[in-house]
Structure 1
Amino acid sequence: MLTGIDHVQLAAPPGSEPELRSFYVDVLGMTETPKPPALAARGGCWFLAGAVQLHLGIEPDFRPARKAHPGLRVRDITAYAKRLTSRGTPITWDDTLPGHRRFYADDPVGNRLEFLEPEHPKP
């Protein structure tokens, strides 16, 4: 029986770890978590924020995910959007999901990321 998602894996090109660390830690506010030694030899990096885990694995024939993407819930999406844009990450707002505010951004290697927050009913 499934009980949750442990992590989401995205791909990245060889040698992109410094860019990934800068983006996922400094821009998104995640924490890098060490990979087990047997997996660290493969390159890539893992990031954590609360219960959210994103793993970036190295893929020699890398092509960024343009349609497939993680949907990441955030609190105070307007402030989070400002955080990204103030650090040089362009965002694209999308109002087509009922009951949510959301935007898209790309990581430094071109992977698509979705950020969303449910709208709360107004009294």
Structure 2
Amino acid sequence: MAFAFRAIDHVQLAAPKGSEDAARKFFRDLLGFKEAEKPETLKKRGGVWFAFGNCRVHIGIEEPFSPAKKAHPAFEVENLEELKRRLTENGVHVIEDDKLPGAKRFYADDPFGNRLEFLEWVRE
């Protein structure tokens, strides 16, 4: 094969127009992602970008907006219980799921109703 995949560069989630501050409050302030600078040529489209480690999450403006209820990114987390506590203390509803062998996980929605999965692999 003449090509090879290296990684996922970024995940894009949709949000309604004017939602950048809500995205910052959730992804930056609550989850602890760093805000990443968007290129000048893309700033006029709205939205906001975030990063953690080598991963990036782009919040893009979509009109009309419809949240992703099934499709979702899954974030591997260290100390999942602490994240769950932080989210619930800040009014975010979490949905427990024990159907993936070898992992603890839960789902939550971002402020726009997009489904997010958070998981921690159980190492024995």
Q: What amino acid maps onto 2:13 in structure 1?
A: L
The equivalent of 2:40 in structure 1 is 37
Identity of aligned residues (%): 52
Q: Tell whether 2:107 aligns with 1:117.
A: no
Q: Tell whether 2:46 aligns with 1:46.
A: no
Among 8, 11, 23, the residue aligned to 2:11: 8
The equivalent of 1:19 in structure 2 is 22
Partner SS for 1:67: coil
TM-score (norm 2): 0.95
CA offset at residue 34 of structure 1?
1.0
Q: Distance in 2 between matches of 1:66 and 1:5?
A: 21
Q: What amino acid maps onto 2:96 in structure 1?
A: W
The size of the alignment, in residue pairs, is 121
TM-score (norm 1): 0.96
Structure 1: gaps of 5 or more residues: none
Q: Tell whether 2:58 aligns with 1:55.
A: yes
Q: Tell whether 2:68 aligns with 1:65.
A: yes
Q: Distance in 2 between matches of 1:81 and 1:36?
A: 33
Q: Distance in 2 between matches of 1:103 and 1:52?
A: 20
Partner SS for 1:26: helix
Q: Distance in 1 between matches of 2:55 and 2:96?
A: 22
Q: Distance in 1 between matches of 2:29 and 2:23?
A: 10
The equivalent of 2:80 in structure 1 is 77
Q: What amino acid maps onto 2:105 in structure 1?
A: R
The equivalent of 2:101 in structure 1 is 98
Q: Distance in 2 between matches of 1:88 and 1:29?
A: 16
Find runs of 4+ consecutive structure 1 residues off by over 4 angstroms. none
Q: Deviations over 1:83-121 (max 9, x none)?
A: 111122111110000000000000001000000010111
Structure 2: gaps of 5 or more residues: none
Q: Distance in 2 between matches of 1:15 and 1:97?
A: 36
Give the CA RMSD over aligned residues.
0.7
Partner SS for 2:71: coil
